[in-house]
Amino acid sequence: MTYASETRRRRTFAIISHPDAGKTTLTEKLLLFSGAIQIAGSVKARKASRHATSDWMEIEKQRGISVASSVMQMSYRDHVVNLLDTPGHKDFSEDTYRVLTAVDSALMVIDAANGVEAQTRRLIEVCRQRDTPIITFVNKMDREVREPLDILDEIERELGMPCVPMTWPVGQGKLFGGIINLRTEAMTVFESGSERRPQDFDTVPLNDADSLAKRFGHEWTTAIESMELATGASPAWDHAAFLAGKQTPVFFGSGVNNFGVMEVLDALVDLAPAPQKRTSTTVVNRQPVVKEMQPEDTAFSGVVFKVQANMDANHRDRIAFVRMASGKYTPGMKLKVMRTAKELRPTSVVTFMSQRREAVEEAYAGDIVGFTTHGGVQLGDTITDGSINLQYTGLPFFAPEMFMTVVLRNPLRTKQLQQGLAQLGEEGAIQVFKPEMGGNMLLGAVGQLQFEVVQHRLKGEYDADIRLEGCQYTGARWITADTPKELQEFINAYPMRMARDAADTLAYLCTSPYDVRLAQERFPKIHFHPLREHA
Ligand code: G4P
């Protein structure tokens, strides 16, 4: 197969939801029905075994939340489907945002009783910013839930784009009769239980309306009425509009009962986009020039969107997750980190196809490759085979919303603390700021739990016992200016407020939102950035 045909058959998507909406259940069913796993329960079991092998995951276990996001690959209808899981807890939202930069589409899972919940809202915003196409799955129809029209209305409002129902539920809860597939014009009849395979459900064509009406009575009449209202109010299905992030197809079902899941898997293959071109910059005659890489371009290129410490606390290895943007990966090939121009020498490489029996020896654009390294790789790094010169941009770092000062209990462990903070900063577990005027290091986070994880890991992995103390800062802005002179004047005016992050980028620490406004008024030529994109 050619590079083009290989990349065209790839689908790389993230699954997003509010905790408890049924993300893990749906993930597991997608893997099960594509044949990637044989026995239900293994995704949950794997989560549990991950807890068992790593000490620092203790925090995750205690709180029953997922700190790490992971990658799963399946093969379905001659397509390679890469599923990227996202941590559901809001305190790890930064990690999720970065995962969203590595996908071509998103699958949004909504609990039909709760509608669009807080955590989903922020994820939607990120998808919207990037015009990421979103497929919507309304889950738990076997429960007493909200009216489908009501749910659709809410999704439309929250997404700011029209919903196009692809399936429509007949009844709900105890009277859930099944779903009408609007494309095939047939009704799939619901039965509860988790043993059934999708093909085992009874399917009745809609032109057999009399028998369906007799069988489902009031539920049927109501479903047809509301379905007509919904389809009348929504635009016709427009694939191009979906790909442009301007409408979302909506599916109803019940993950735990294996119901409505196959429709989602088919939609991923039939509707979701293959890898797209990616914008990068390259420097020509000292000037940045935009360069577009096509997925079928033969040079290997990709971006590190996630760095994760190895689960084994005795080793300092880290896995750099690279989303391939172009080319082909083959074992043993030479790779270069563009930021440092150094060769990447991984101790091992995983391509997330371990579920399959045969060893897979290659990966293409859209795939995720995990490189285990001893360092030298940071979040946002561009990796190539050395035959091209470019840098991908767009991996976001958000200005922290809370700060703590690090106080080391045993001053003899300073070196270990520095090493730990540098590595955890590079991983993106937390943002580390070093005040320009000296003094204790500052930790900046988006969520409180990040502090706890870092404190726990510093002790467990680096034997650096720290105390975290509150400090006056409530925010930070990365600063730039058009000229070095303007920047220096600003630095001179606020020397105590200057700090550098893990990437050595200068930031202004603030004590309130007014603080930034005042500084901006005094120095109108300084640019204050709430978001830093790795460049
Ligand atoms: P998450 O990853 O989004 O956090 O959700 P997860 O899949 O763990 O599901 C959360 C709970 O919702 C689980 O129940 C799960 O069984 C249940 N669930 C998922 N899909 C459906 C569905 O279609 N219908 C109904 N009725 N429930 C569903 P739990 O009691 O927390 O866990 P468990 O003991 O069942 O595993």
Q: Token digits for 240?
A: 């191009």
φ, ψ of residue 441 in degrees (nearest 5): -70, 150
Q: Of 147, 166, 357, nearest to 247 (Cα)?
A: 166
Nearest to 30 by CA among 211, 267, 309, 369: 267
H or E element that contains 227: helix 209-233
Q: How confident is the model over 302-342, as pLDDT tens digits? A: 999 988 776 555 666 788 899 999 999 998 899 999 989 99
- Nearest-CA neighbor of 324 among 347, 354, 293? 293
Q: Is the CB of 501 under 6 A from ligand 1?
A: no
Q: How far is the CA of 254 from the centre of ligand 1 (A)?
A: 10
pTM listed for this prediction:
0.86
Is the pLDDT assigned to residue 155 strictly greater than 70? yes
Q: Whose CA is nearest to atom 30 of ligand 1?
A: 20
Adjacent-strand bridge partners of 258? none
Mean model confidence pLDDT for the chain? 87
Q: What local confidence, expressed as pLDDT, does residue 68 receive? A: 43
pLDDT in tens, 397-452: 888 889 999 999 998 999 999 989 988 888 888 899 999 998 899 999 988 888 98
Distance CA 400, CA 451 (A): 12
Q: Is 17 in the pocket of ligand 1 (CB under 6 A)?
A: yes
Query: What is the average per-residue pLDDT within 57-63?
Result: 48
Residue 397: its pLDDT value, please? 80
Helix H or strand E segment including 364: strand 363-364
Residue 443 forms beta bridges with which residues? 404, 432
Protein residue whose Cα sits closest to atom 10 of ligand 1: 20
**Is the Cβ atom of 30 under 6 angstroms away from ligand 1?**
no
Rounded to whole angstroms, the Cα distance separating 249 from 99 reads: 22
Q: What is the pLDDT of residue 311?
A: 56
**CB-CB contact of 431 with 446 (8 Å):** no
Higher pLDDT among residues 272 and 462, named by residue:
272
CA atoms within 13 A on the CB side of 122: 18
What residues are paired with 478 via a beta bridge? 507, 529
Tokens of 51: 């807890």
Least confident of 39-43, 227-231, 275-279: 39-43
Q: How far apart are CA 531 and CA 199, in angstroms?
A: 47
Give the pLDDT mean for 389-404: 86
Q: Which two tokens stand for residue 48?
A: 């549990």
Cβ contact 192:179 at 8 Å: no
Q: Is 140 in the pocket of ligand 1 (CB under 6 A)?
A: yes
Q: Are 337 and 373 in contact (CB under 8 A)?
A: no
Decide whether any atom of ligand 1 lies within 6 Å of the 111 Cβ.
Answer: no
Give CA–CA dist 187/209, Å, rounded. Answer: 10
**Does the annotation list 85 as a binding residue?**
yes
Helices 209-233 and 148-159 cross at an angle (nearest 10°) of 30
Ligand 1 pocket residue status of 19, Cβ below 6 Å: yes
Q: Which of 153 and 310 is assigned the larger pLDDT?
A: 153
Q: From atom 24 of ligand 1, which residue's Cα is the shortest distance away? A: 140
444 contact partners, CB below 8 Å, separation of at least 6: 399, 400, 402, 403, 430, 431, 432, 433, 473, 476
- Any ligand 1 atom below 6 A from CB of 65: no
Distance 483 CA to ligand 1 centre (A): 55
Residue 17 has pLDDT above 60, yes or no: yes
Task: Tell me how far the alpha carbon of residue 155 lies from the centroid of ligand 1, in angstroms.
Answer: 21
Q: Which of 256, 257, 258, 261 to mutate to test the pocket of ligand 1 (most atoms within 8 A of CB)?
A: 256
User: With contact defined as beta carbons under 8 Å apart, do 268 and 104 qualify?
Assistant: no
23 annotated ligand-binding residue:
yes
Lowest average pLDDT, out of 31-40, 65-74, 135-144, 384-393, goes to: 65-74
**CA of 357 relative to ligand 1 center, distance in Å:** 30
Rounded distance from Cα 184 to ligand 1 centre (Å): 29
DSSP letter at 335? E
Asked casually if ipTM beats, i.e. exceeds, 0.85, the reply is yes
CA of 140 relative to ligand 1 center, distance in Å: 9
Ligand 1 binding pocket includes 405 (Cβ within 6 Å): no
Largest CA-CA distance found in the chain, in angstroms, rounded: 81
Q: Is residue 185 scored above 60 in pLDDT?
A: yes
Please give the number of the atom of ligand 1 that sits closest to the Cα of 259: 23
- Is 359 annotated to bind a ligand? Reply is no
Cα distance between residue 461 and residue 69, in whole Å:
20
Q: Rounded CA gap, 360 and 350, in Å?
A: 10
pLDDT value at residue 361: 77
Is 88's C-beta closer than 6 angstroms to any atom of ligand 1?
yes
Lowest-confidence segment of 46-60, 256-270, 365-379 by average pLDDT: 46-60
Residue 351 near ligand 1, beta carbon < 6 Å: no
The secondary structure of 392-461 as a DSSP string is E--EEEEPPSEEEEEEESSGGGHHHHHHHHHHHHHHTSSEEEEETT-SS-EEEESSHHHHHHHHHHHHHH
The stretch 20-44 carries a mean pLDDT of: 78
Task: Pick the atom of ligand 1 nearest to 253's CA.
Answer: 23
pLDDT at 52: 38
How far away, in angstroms, is 100 Cα from ligand 1 center? 23
Q: Which helix (H) or strand (E) holds 240?
A: helix 239-243
Residue 22 CA to ligand 1 centre (angstroms) = 5
Residue 57 is given by DSSP the state T
Beta bridge partners of 164: 249
Q: Report the residue among 25, 96, 143, 191 best suited for mutation to probe ligand 1: largest number of ligand atoms under 8 A from its CB.
A: 25
Do residues 326 and 294 lie in contact, with contact meaning Cβ atoms separated by under 8 Å? yes
247 phi, psi to nearest 5 deg: -155, 155
Quote the ligand 1 centre to 355 CA distance (angstroms).
24
For the Cβ of 24 lying below 6 angstroms from any atom of ligand 1, the answer is: yes
Alpha helices in 71-208 (DSSP H): 93-100, 118-129, 148-159
